[in-house]
Structure formats: structure tokens, C-alpha cells
A and B are shown apart, each in its own frame.
Chain A
Amino acid sequence: MAKGWSKTRAQVERAKERVIELAIAACGISAVVFVFAIIYFVFREAAPLLFGGLDIGQFLGSPEWYPDSVSNKRYGALALIAGTLSVTVLAMAIAVPFGLGAAIYVSEFSHGRTKEALKVVIELLAGVPSVVWGFIGLVVINPIIIDVFNTAVGLNVLNGAFLLGLMSVPIMVSIGEDALKAVPDTYREAAEAMGATKWQVTWRVLLPAARNGLLAAVLLGVGRAVGETMAVLMATGHAVHIPTSPLDSVRTMTATIAAELGETAKGSDHYRILFVLGALLFAITFVVNLVADVAIRGVRKR
């Protein structure tokens, strides 16, 4: 009798275990499914144009973006690509030193309350909606740039890069700090016991030991910057133009999609070309991630 009861119980236990396993597996697989679904929908909308009539050479090589022209529609995305790249590169030039510097300060040089306060404030920074950043770019940074650089407009690469830089700092700090925290304390103690100063320990021991994580932090920042839309839409001046200086106005790929998609007819060439842009964005972030992955593997092998 007792034996039979415990058998049922064992069965119930096993069934319960099975259900939980399945549920967790479903959660894991769903992420993959969503990613592929997104790829599928983007490419489905882009495909008729991409494989039927789009001049790829013109798309990637010409800066002439005239999707609305009545007589001569031209879909050259070079200026948009240049816009995205210029803003991203300058943003990283601002964000990497500040982000990694802040990560080092928070992880190694600050203690107690300062540390906690800093982390809270930095997380607060991460929570600022991008439209608010755009607003700051429009009403705060714009006049400053006009004043300082004596330009006609302050909505340009510099403005957008500054915003994107600040927006990518929080993620770099938190990932970078995690990477530094993961370096065993024994390294710190061993190096300090040999008479290295705090900075020598950081520079010679901790940064090399944490470089995988720090690289990941930087690339996540890059991903954030490449994909950001609203702030750059508001702050970069919305001019289709290959920039020759940080004070030139540009338009990014993301901003173009956001601004134009609502005004196109579904299924039109203009509609489809925006999805081609989206697919290109996808490809760029994919390559960034792949490079990061390969780089990290390379580092690990050594």
C-alpha cells in the first residue's frame, strides 16, 4: 500500500519536473524563434525589391536618396550609411574613454557610499527615454554648439554623437564593472603585495585580465549607438549628406526608416527600400557581434 503511494508520488514528481523542463526549454527557444521571425519579416518585405530591380551598386555606392522624386526615383543609401557610421564612431570616441574610465573608477577606486550612489545615478542615466535625449540635443546642446563653434545649425554629427555617447555610457559602465569585478581579488592582492600602486595594478593586471568583458562592454555600446533612432532623428539635422566634418548635419539609416516609413504606401518601392535599409542595419549589427565573438575566442585561445 505504502509502496504504491510512493510510486504515484514519484510519477507526479517526474511529471512536474518534465513540465518545468519543457517550460524552460520553451523560454530558451522562444528567443531564437523571435530573432528568426524578425529576420523573416524584414527580409520578406525587402525581398521583392532586393531581388527584383534594386541596383545594389547604386544603393551602396550613391549618396542620392530621392525616394519621393516623381520623375527619377533614386535609392542611394551611401549618405545614410555614412551618417550612421560617422555618428557611431564619434559617439564611441566619446563613450569608450568615459564609459571604461567610469567602470574602472566604480569598480576599483570608489568605496562605500560613493560607489553605491554612482551606480544608482548611472542606472538612472540608462533609464532616460531616448526622446528625452533628443529633446536635450535640440534645446540644450544645439545652442551650445552654435555658440562654441560659430555654426549656423547645431544639429549635426557632433550633437548626435554626444547624445549617443552619453546613452551608451551606462551599459558600458555596468558591463565593464561586472568584467572587472569578475577578476579574482587574489590578483589584486598579489600585485599589490609586490609593491604595485593601485593604478599599476589596474593597468597591468586588471585590464588585461578583464579584456574580454571590456570588449563586450564596448561592443554592446556600439550596438546601442548603431540602433538608436529617436535621439539621432532629433539631433543630427536630418540632412542626407556625406559628412566631411563633425559639424555637418547628417541623417542616419534608423532615422530615415522612422521618418519615412509612415508616409509610404505598403508594398511600394519606397516602402520596400526602407526594409532593405533595415536588413542592412541587421547585417551590420550581426557583423559587429560576429567580430566580437571571434575576437573573444581568439583572446581565449592564447
Chain B
Amino acid sequence: MVSERPKVQFETLTVHFGEHIALKDVTLDLRPNEILGIIGPAGSGKTTLLRALNRTLELTRDARIEGKVQLDGEDVYRAPSLPALRRRIGMVAPLPVGLPMSIYDNVAFAPRMAGVRSKTTLDGLVETCLVQAALWDEVKDRLADLGTKLSGGQQQRLTIARALSHEPEVLCLDEFSIAIDPVTTMRIEEVLKELSRRISILLVTNLVQQARRLAHRTAFLLMGELVEVGPTEGLFGRNPSDSRTFDYVHGMFG
């Protein structure tokens, strides 16, 4: 887990939205097979960080990005193919977005776009991903139903299944448990631990305890600045290197 080249490197990353600064000079690594927790109050730039990695930030018109983001040592902003880059990164947004198509098609969307045509391959992939997202048992008999008809929590798991469908090397989760009940959350957390043997995970979360349960290391963002990053236990212990971290993780503010 240590001494390898980082999977993802954010280097002096600064992001402006018009006049507003969303991220200020953030330098952060994600190591291979690591779950990196990212905590911080609302508006601290957590989501922006994820969107800078898969370059969906560019869909926001007035976003200005400075600094470097590297995936396996390659600058993502010089990637030869944007779709190919994005397929290497799974993204789970905080509010579930079931695309207006069947459950099956939702999960098969990305593989199809990448050119997978074989029905057997797709069937297998859809099942694996739905099982991993703890949704298979609930939907296996109605895969042809509209994805948008599922409940909020089910749709959220559908987006997780979808994010896994293109077999990403990095999985980004943005407050995935916001619409899910605690029991399902626990099931997915188990899946994440399992997945981290194979892939690297960026876990943005509002639940500091979730970071504590899952993350190998945790980064604390505050108003666009990286306050500190380190082994999770250190951050949650008695003496994090910054007093603001202590206040936040112990619920003094935020």
C-alpha cells in the first residue's frame, strides 16, 4: 500500500468559479488500493475536487482550473481521449441520477458506449455490478423497469452499480449515503472495503464517522483549503496537527 507511485495526484490545484475560489492550492495524493476520506463542511470544495479529476468541472461554464491533476502520472488535462479517461474513473453523485431508461440499460450504458455488444458479457456485468451495489436482490425480477421509478435509495445504489460498470481504476463517491438507510449504507461500506483491494477510492463524506470507519487516510478541507491530510486515526485522535481539524471532527463546528 505504501511506496508506490500515487494513483491520483492533485498538484497545487486551484479552481475558480467566476470570482469565487472553490479550491485553493490543494496538493493531495491518492495511493493505490487506498480509501482516502475527504471531509469538510458544505462548500469546502470536496465535490469540486472530484469533478476536477474526471473533468466534468469543464461542463460548468465559468470554471477556471489551475494546477495539475495526474492519473497514474499522466496529466488528465492532456488526456488524448476524454471518454477513455472518464471510463477509468467511477463517479457517484450525492443525489441519485437514474437515467430515463431501464434498470438494465442504466448499468449497461457505459459498457455499451465503450463498444461492448455481447449480450452475455453485458448480462454478467449488469448482475455483478448490481450485486456489488447491494441492489441485485431487489431488482433482479424487474430489470426492464424504468430506473427513474426506483426509490431514492435504490436509485443511489443504481448509480453506484453504474459507476462500477465501466470497471474504473478510481472510484469517487460523493456523499453516497445521503439518500440511503443505515443498513444499506453498511452493506455498501463492506463492498467498498472489498473493492479497495483492487481499486483506489476517493470517499467524500459529510459523515465524519464514515470516514473514520472506512478511510485509510483522511483529508480535511475547509473553505477550499486543505487543512491537513494523514492517517485517519491521527486525524481523529487527540492531537491532529491543526486545531480546526480537532474542532470539526469532534463536532465543535461545521
Residues of A within 8 Å of B109, CB to CB, are 191, 194, 196, 204
Indicate whether A30 reaches chain B with its CB closer than 8 angstroms. Answer: no
Min CB distance, B63 to chain A, in Å?
A: 13
Asked if B183 is at the interface (CB within 8 A of a chain A CB), the reply is: no
Q: Which residue of B lies closest to A194 (CB)?
A: B110
Residue of B nearest to A302 (CB): B146
Q: B93 to A205, Cβ gap below 8 A? A: no
Contact of B84 among A111, A190, A193, A195 (CB under 8 A): A195
**A62 contacts chain B at the CB level, 8 A cutoff:** no
What's the least CB distance linking B225 to chain A, in Å?
Answer: 25
| A residues near B254, Cβ cutoff 8 Å | none
Does A89 reach chain B (CB closer than 8 Å)? no
Q: Which of A185, A195, A204, A209 contacts B83 (CB 8 A)?
A: A195
Q: Decide if B87 is an interface residue (CB 8 Å cutoff).
A: yes
- Any B CB within 8 A of the CB of A197: yes
In the complex, what residues of B have CB within 8 A of residue A200's CB?
113
Q: How many A-B residue pairs have CB under 8 A?
A: 69
Do B100 and A192 touch (CB < 8 A)? no
A195-B83, A195-B113, A196-B109 given; A190·B59 CB < 8 A: no
Question: Closest CB-CB distance, A165 to chain B, in whole Å?
Answer: 30
The answer on a CB contact under 8 Å between A189 and B84 is no
Q: Do the beta carbons of B93 and A189 come within 8 Å of each other?
A: yes
Residue pair A190, B99 in contact (C-beta under 8 Å)? yes
CB distance from B104 to the nearest CB of A (A): 14
On whether the beta carbons of B83 and A189 are closer than 8 Å, the reply is no
Give the residues from 92 to 135 in chain B that come closer than 8 angstroms, CB to CB, to chain A.
93, 95, 97, 99-101, 109-110, 113-114
* Residue pair B100, A209 in contact (C-beta under 8 Å): yes
B99 and A193 contacting across the interface, CB-CB below 8 Å? no
Chain A residue with Cβ nearest B59: A189
Is the CB of B159 closer than 8 A to any CB of chain A? yes
Q: Are B100's CB and A190's CB within 8 A?
A: no
B157 close to A (CB within 8 Å): no
Interface string of B27-68 (1 = CB under 8 A from A): 000000000000000000000000000101001010000000
Q: How far is the CA of A187 from the CA of B99 in the complex (A)?
A: 6
Whether B113 lies near A193 (C-beta < 8 A) is: no
Q: Which residue of B lies closest to A189 (CB)?
A: B56
CB atoms of B100 and A208 under 8 A apart = yes
> Residues of B contacting A190 with CB < 8 Å?
91, 93, 97, 99, 159, 162
A193-228 contacts to B, CB under 8 A, are: 193-197, 200, 204-205, 208-209
Chain A residues in contact with chain B, CB under 8 A?
Answer: 111, 184-197, 200, 204-205, 208-209, 302
Q: Which 7 A-B pairs have the closest CB atoms?
A: A195-B87, A194-B110, A195-B86, A193-B91, A190-B97, A195-B83, A196-B113
- Beyond A185-B59, A208-B101, list 15 extra A-B contacts (CB 8 Å): A186-B97, A190-B99, A192-B86, A193-B89, A194-B91, A194-B162, A194-B166, A195-B83, A195-B84, A196-B109, A197-B82, A204-B109, A205-B101, A209-B99, A209-B100
